[in-house]
Every structure is written in structure tokens, then in C-alpha cells.
Chains A and B, each alone.
Chain A
Amino acid sequence: MDIFDFSEGREGYYGEYGGVFLPEILHATIEELLECFRECKADPKFWQEYVSLLQNYSGRPTPITHLENLSRKLGGAQIYVKRDDLNHTGSHKINNVMGQGLLCQRLGKSKVIAETGAGQHGFATATMAAKFGFECKIYMGAVDVARQRPNVFWMENLGAEVIAVEDGQKTLKDAVNECMRDWVTNMADTHYILGTACGPHPFPEMVSWFQSIIGLEAREQMLKQAGRLPDRVYACVGGGSNAMGIFQGFMNDDNVELIGSEGGGHGVGSYMHSSRLAYDDASVGVAQGYKTYFLQNDEGNMNETHSVAAGLDYIGVNPIFAHLHDQGKVRFEAATDIEVKEALKLTMRTEGLIPALESTHAFVTAIKEAPTMGKDQIILINQSGRGDKDIFTIADALDDAKWKSFIGGKADQYRGENN
């Protein structure tokens, strides 16, 4: 099955989802992007250049780790983890960004803009822009700027301009709107590096294509290391790019079950979550350039969303997943904030791994299900990012007294310097 093999007149559609819903002024820009992407996708040299760039710059292929301690402790399936946290800049985001950087060179544009939630995509974009010599602007919701200062620090030091977006809920969706506004003004010399498999066509296909490197590697590695394919593959789903990335490696393997784990926030019925498919609160709508399931009210205005992981805190899900969910090809579950904190502690203590809060959502679902599976069964989790960027959030969640006293001391020191 090739989900990107569109039928006549339905290019960019996955079932009834996807499409291009943009102002007329961007029509020529999106056509130009589509044409360039088609050329790149058809050119084997482009993919070779992309892979070699990631090998030399980002440390690919990332390894697969067998979590023997955790598997033993849970007493069920053998757990393996794809280590995309070991990429340069600490997450899978760099894959897409490097790919779009190469594509931006082909487009001949000198500036890049990007939205960011957790800051990982912004951090990766700023890194790529520094390497390729692009001028770089990152739009980030003011709430996210406040909760992800370490990433903002790095973006700025890498030479990017970080703009705090004060509209709406001041989170990821508002940063996307602001990127759109920049793009309709500056499209002549600016490429919009969308960070996830959402937005108007060809972004869902393009981002998925670049991220497919995760699944390509993982399938081969599992065969080599575990001797066979996993029974289940788990990934967290915000927009859904890391999940699309790893799932594509197993899309044609009917015996591999694919499970997406969304941001359950405060849980079912709380209306403070980011679960578009696992809970029943979302409905089909059109916003931010595409049609998919959105967390919105009956009149089509978006609801407030929440997740402890800024990177999952988003109103919509990629249109490919909306379709694969309808088809029963991917199962969706949710992990609540509380479950995420517990799973993170367990993973750190038993395996010495620190997954990002986003990726920990996949761990939650896997940890719940592993004990119900046989010891001869195998599961694979995508650890899409590393958790040290979340140190402030995690320290708060763990109520770590020594950390608080350290930060208090630092604050006193800075105050002293300012006086």
C-alpha cells in the first residue's frame, strides 16, 4: 500500500482528509514547492545526499537499544527502542529540517521561517540555517517561550530570531498562524519549514518522506538485532511526524500493529488534553491549510488544548493518520500527564534513558501493554527525543528540592549582578 499514490484529481488527499486550503496569494508558492518536491523525490541522488548529510552531521543511523531490565521487570514482551534522541539537537526534528534545507537550496530561497512548540523543531531549524547560511526566524507561542527557555537560548545563540507570538492561546497553533502571515508576505525569498506532517499538501507527504528514514533504518535493525519484525510499534503523536517516520517502515507488514500515543493531558472528559483520535472530543474541520480532526467546538472555533509535553499540545492531527485511523491501520491511545511522569521515572531508573516528555507518551502505552503480551513477543518504541531539554518541567513534576534550591541560588546570583 502506498498512501502517497493519489488517485486522479485527489492529489494531497488521504481519504477525505488533507488538501490545500490556503489564500490565493500562496497558490503559486505552494505549486512551486510541490514541483520542487516532486523533482527531489524522483531524484535518487537527492535522497543519497540527504542520507549522507544526516550520517555526517547528525549521527545517523541512530541505534536500537534492547531494554532488557524494563522487559524483565514488566514480565511480558521484549522492549526495543529506536534512539532518535541521539540525533544532533536531540530529536527526530533534524531529519525533516535537513531535508527541507536541501530542498530550500534547490528552491533558491535565502530565508527560512518555522513554527515551534516544544522548541525542538525551532532548535533544529536554527541549527540547519546556521550550517546552510539561511536567515532564520522562529515563531513560538509566548507560553511556550516561557516554558522552554533553554531551547530559545540555543536558537538565539545559533543566530535565529525568535518571535514570541502573543495571539490566541499563545502556543503551537498560534505560531503556525503567524508563520502563514509571514509567508503570505515574504514568499518570494522565504521557505516555510513546517515542522510536522500537517498543513497543506505537500507538507504532510514531504515531512513524512524525510522522516521515513527512521522506519527504514528501524525495520532493518530489528531484523538484524532481534531476528524478526516487532509485533507492535509505538510512537507519540502530536502533529505525527515521528510516528509517520517509524510507522512507514512497517506499513506493508500486516503482522505489525502500529500504535500512536496522544497527549491525554488531564484525561478523558477534562477538555484539557490534546487527544484528537484516542478520545471522542475532536471532529473534522478545516484550519491551518488542511482538513483533519481538530479539537474544536460545534461552530468550528478551536478549543483550548493541553499536554505536559509542549510538542504534543496541538489542535490537529496529520491527515494521513486521520485516514489510517478510519481504516483501522493505526490504533490510537492517550497517555495522561500523570502517567507520563511515572513512566519517565521508571525508564530513567531501570534503563538510564531519559526520553523527552513527548516520547514518554509512547512509553506509557507500551509499558501498559507489554505485561499483557508473551515473553516471545517484541515491541518497538520510538524515542523521538531526549528529555534533558525538559529539565525544568521534569524537576517541577518531581518536586525536586535540590533543583529548586539550585535555581533559587542562581536567581539570587543574577539579581545580585543586575543591582
Chain B
Amino acid sequence: MGLQSFIAERKQSKDILVMAHVVCGYPSFEENLQELEIMAEAGVDLVELQFPFSEPSADGPLFVRANEQSLKSGTTVDQCFEFMKLVSARFPFKVLMMGYYNTAFKMGEAAFVKRVKDAGGVGYILPDLPIEESPELHRLSEEAGIEPIILMTPTTSDKRLAKLGAVSRGLVYVVARKGVTGSKTKMGDDVLALVERCRQHTDVPMGVGFGISSKADIDVLRGHADIAIVGTAALKIWEEGGASGLRNFFAELMA
């Protein structure tokens, strides 16, 4: 089943879906698996598996450190794909690859698409790859039936949104604010207006991310966005409160 139909199906019984995030190999693959079990229990719908990169320039301090530590402990691309295969077979949520373009570029775009597909991934998010540079990758992805996730942002003009909308598939990642991952965003009318503005340009589901950390944030998005994307907040809880902390966090978040 494709990403968009999966989202449509899940949305029949829920008014908003949740996409979570782990950095592969940080703190360790074993702990990643524990985190993912908790996320699956809580009913998380989608998960981004971040492949660590040495220059994560779109990430905030917590994910920067996670990328760095994961690489330091020896995480490889092969291990990340193996993990993706295991995870996508074991859990009911759908899995996306998240990372930086160099990871895909170095193995070759065709090999990248094949490996994501073979590992059970439904798509990928490469925040430093603009659409101007991705026609070939998008073509390969379409052939393979996986989705390149397009990002729309508060600084994107309507003219540009139209361009982005025309090539978006699966879901659109709406970046709630300027900046890097991990800082607090004031979820309010600005974000909702942005989602509405993005919707003018595409029919694919809208996920909103950057700074979502509580049920209150999700409540604001309910009825406006299709998916709430939770990244840094969950890792922070895991580091501070371990398994029980994370279980409570998702229980509250998705209540």
C-alpha cells in the first residue's frame, strides 16, 4: 500500500496521525528498538529513521549530538538499512528514511531508492535536497513506488508553493517555523494559516513538524493538519526519563 492510501486508511479512525523520529544508532540500536516498541504501542502511525550524517546542518543541538555520537559508535549505512528492514517488518507503522542528500548521492540515487524500497521504507526526507536537484531521484522513486517528501516552509512564496505542490507525493512536511529542529514553536494561527496556504497547492496530506512537544500542540493542529510530527521532544524524554518516561509521554500526547 502506498503512503497516501495508508494515511487515508488510518485517518478513517483518527482525526490526526502522529509521525515520530529516531536517530539510528543513538543511543544504540537496542534502545532505538525499545523506543519504537513504545511508539508502536501508543499507536504512532509513521516513523522517520534518521541515518546519521557528519554535517547535519538543518538539525538542532540534540540531534546534532545524536548524529555525532551514533557515528562515533560506528553506525554504518548498511546497519541503518538492516534496522529499517527489521523495523518495517515488525511494526504496524510505516517507515521513512530521513537524512542528508550525501548519503544517497554517495551510494548512487538508483541504489538508494532500491535499498529504501527493499528495506520496507515508504519514502524519504532529505532536507538539503531542493526540487531543482531531484528530478531524476523523483523519477526513480515513482518507478519504485516510494515517495520523496517535499518540505513547505513559512518563507516559501505562493509561486514556489505551486512548484512544490506540483511535485509533492505521499505527504507534505510543513515546517512550522524558521530555524533548526528542536526549539519550541508557538502553535497557533500562524501555523494553521501556513497549512491552509500549503493546501491551496496540493491535495496530498499535510504533516506539521518542528517544535511539537505536547498534546496541546497537537490539539491546535487537529482538524487542520493530517499528521503531527514529533522529533526532538521524544528523544529528550528518552534521555531524561527512559522507557517509562517515553511511555507516559506518548500516552499523554496521543490521548
Q: Which residues of A line the B interface, CB within 8 A?
A: 19-29, 167-168, 173, 176-177, 180-181, 184-188, 283, 285-289, 296, 298-302
Contacts and interface: CB of A to CB of B under 8 A. Distances in A.
B28 interface: no
B214 interface: no
Contacts of B150: 24
Contacts of A184: 58, 178-180
A24 B180 contact: no
B132 A300 contact: no
A285 B68 CA distance: 19
B57 interface: yes
Contact of A24 (B102, B106, B175): B175
Contacts of A176: 57
Interface string B124-139: 0001111011000000
A176 B76 CA distance: 24
Contact of A185 (B77, B105, B178): B178
Given A25-B153, A299-B77, 17 more contacts: A21-B101, A22-B128, A28-B156, A28-B157, A167-B65, A177-B64, A184-B178, A187-B155, A187-B178, A286-B101, A286-B105, A287-B55, A289-B57, A299-B103, A300-B53, A301-B52, A302-B54
Interface of B: 52-60, 64-65, 68, 71, 76-77, 100-103, 105-107, 127-130, 132-133, 150-157, 160, 164, 175, 178-180
Given A168-B54, A180-B57, A184-B58, A23 B128 contact: yes
A301 B54 CA distance: 5
Nearest to A30: B130
Of B52, B102, B103, B154, which is in contact with the most chain A CB atoms at under 10 Å from its CB?
Answer: B102
Contacts of A22: 128, 130
B102 A286 contact: yes
Contacts of B128: 21-23, 286, 289
Contacts of A180: 57-58
Nearest to A12: B132
B178 A25 contact: yes
Given A27-B130, A168-B68, A299-B103, A181 B175 contact: no
B130 A24 contact: yes
Which among B53, B106, B153 has the highest number of chain A CB atoms within 10 Å? B106
A9 to B, nearest CB: 9
Given A23-B127, A285-B106, A299-B76, A177 B57 contact: yes
Contact of A19 (B53, B57, B133, B154): B133
Nearest to A284: B105
B157 A23 contact: no
A235 to B, nearest CB: 27
Given A180-B57, A285-B105, A298-B106, A167 B179 contact: no
